[in-house]
Chains A and B, each alone.
Chain A
Amino acid sequence: MIRTSRIPNGVIVEGQIRGQGDLVVAGVVEGSLDVDGLVLIESTGQVRGPIRARSISVSGSVQGPLTADESVRLEPGARVVGDVVAANVSAALGAMVRGRVRMAGAERLDRTEGGTVRAPWSSTGTLVAARTATGMIAAPKMERAASPQRIESPAVVEDKPKRSRTVTAAQPAAAPPVAAPVAPVAAPPVAAPPVAPPLVAAPVVAAAAPAVVAPVRHAPPSPVMPSIGRVRARRKDGADRDAG
């Protein structure tokens, strides 16, 4: 019993082919192919229509989607315009494709850390989200520059008592580029306790009213926590734990 069908070179099929067995196309098929075996499109073969099979190997040209349960192999000289979906898709140098490819394991890419890059330099060891699409390079870069400092900025809770006015003013002047992009995230927790006037007041004071001479307050007041009472603010990184 011959289970391999063959459309020879010079033969044109108009209509759909479906059924069991393998199929070799060296001629032209204008219509769909749907078989449960292998489909082999030889270099002279042309198919205009969707192809469904267990495995597909293409050396000729196909205009239409390729769907295989197992594998799609594109040989040198293959010309494919259409989406390619299979568990395994491979292409040799010299195969030409226009279309979307989807293969098994792509779901793993969904869950992979690609798109987030482990940041070994960060003290927290967290993942830094990286938006990946083209054209978004500048934006994440700016955010990235800010991110290490974003970690630190909540820690600037205490001011050194001896610090002079000029220093406090200079500090916020450097801060805005950091604080601004991350404001929705970083600012509220910082602003909530009235502990960090330099950070809160930073953009306004530095930009708008340098002339207003505020009385120099060397140490900001400690926050009052209802249940505990007056407590000293702690650095998040615990750097002052021994001291305090």
Chain B
Amino acid sequence: MTESRERAGVIGAGLVLMGRLRGEGDMRVEGVLEGEIDLDGDVSLGATSNVVAPVRGRSVVIEGELVGDVTAERDLTVCAGGRVRGDVRAARLAIDDGAIIDGMLDMAFDLGPGASR
């Protein structure tokens, strides 16, 4: 974990990225990103971030504003103050108090016996 943290990339608060962010590795976005995020790694969108893009990552943490669909292979966390407009797909999902989501949540699970009708 420490190692991956060290290798984590950052888009700073004053930075604007227009385009696609893809590949392997962890990324933290504090600035503005418009385009697409598609990473085999953890993605975290900081409190100052403003992202307009579909986001795909292993684990995704959202503290800022995101407009676009999110897909997390593992955990998706929308922290307090985080705002998401778009559809959400994740293996596990946490929505903190104070987070705002506007969109569809889609998770694969069974309701249990007798649930299908």
Contact = CB atoms under 8 A, between A and B. Distances in A.
Q: Do A and B bind each other?
A: yes
A144 interface: yes
Given A115-B52, A117-B32, A132-B52, A103 B100 contact: yes
Interface in B51-78: 52-54, 65-69, 75, 77
Interface SS of chain B: strand
A95 interface: yes
B50 A113 contact: yes
Give the interface size class of chain B: 35 or more
Interface string B68-97: 110000010100000101100000111111
Interface residues of A, number: 47
Nearest to B75: A93
B83 to A, nearest CB: 6
B32 to A, nearest CB: 5
Contact of B67 (A81, A99, A115, A119): A115
A61 B75 CA distance: 20
Nearest to B18: A144
Contact of B35 (A92, A98, A100, A141): A141
A46 B114 CA distance: 10
B94 A118 contact: no
Contacts of B98: 88
A70 to B, nearest CB: 12
A141 B34 CA distance: 9
Given A48-B117, A93-B75, A109-B85, A101 B102 contact: yes
The residue in B32, B94, B96 that gathers the most chain A C-beta atoms within 10 A of its C-beta is B94
A90 B115 contact: no
Contact of B112 (A61, A106, A132): A61
Interface of A: 46, 48, 61, 63, 74, 79, 81, 84, 88-106, 108-109, 112-115, 117-121, 128, 130, 132-134, 137, 140-141, 144
Given A79-B110, A104-B100, A112-B65, 14 more contacts: A63-B111, A95-B94, A96-B107, A98-B105, A101-B104, A101-B105, A103-B100, A106-B85, A106-B102, A109-B83, A109-B85, A109-B102, A114-B67, A132-B52
